[in-house]
Amino acid sequence: GRAGRWRRKARAYSRPCSFFLLFFSESALSVPPLPTPAVTLNRHAVWRGFRQLLPISLFVAVFGLAFGLAAVQTGLGGSAIVLMSALVFTGAAQFATLDLWGAQMPLVPLAVTVFAINARHLLMGATLYPWLRHLPPVQRYAVMLVASDANWALSIQALGQNDTNRGLGLLLGG
């Protein structure tokens, strides 16, 4: 019966991380099939998304200036500030690293902190998978490279209304 089936599954999933597979596998959750919308990225949609997110981008610029000021006060040089701004895309992670920055910089806690702050991007990418899976890998990763909280939220809203071009334009245009 049902109890026997769960016992068999429990034995089959007795390896590490198998608990996750047991309770979150597609068959266990009866997940409906993913939608397969027609996906295209065009310049017009990206430009429209850029224009729609321009007010938010102004706030991001102010946030960047605030980070630059805080980094200078922490003692970072100009090249380190530019490099961090180019490589670390999350403002919260940039500010968190300033607290750990010093002569004896602890690399492991620094990496763990940045990963923990940015882990939400894994979930954001997972929610976008139904729409991004049909794009070529170069476009898919370019879209996820510029994904932020604001453009992700607006694009999910547009994608939920079956406006795929606008949703992906918002995501890439932000």
Whether the model pTM is above 0.75: no
pLDDT tens digits along 58-84: 888 898 899 999 999 988 888 989 988
**In the chain, which residues have pLDDT < 70?**
1-41, 103, 174
Determine what percent of the chain is predicted with pLDDT higher than 90: 6
What are the boundaries of each domain within the chain? Answer: 1-31, 43-173
SS3 labels along the chain:
CHHHHHHHHHHHCCCCCHHHHHHHCHHHHCCCCCCCCCCCCCHHHHHHHHHHCHHHHHHHHHHHHHHHHHHHHHCCCHHHHHHHHHHCCCHHHHHHHHHHCCCCCCHHHHHHHHHHHHCHHHHHHHHHHHHHCCCCHHHHHHHHHCCCHHHHHHHHHHHHCCCHHHHHHHHHHC
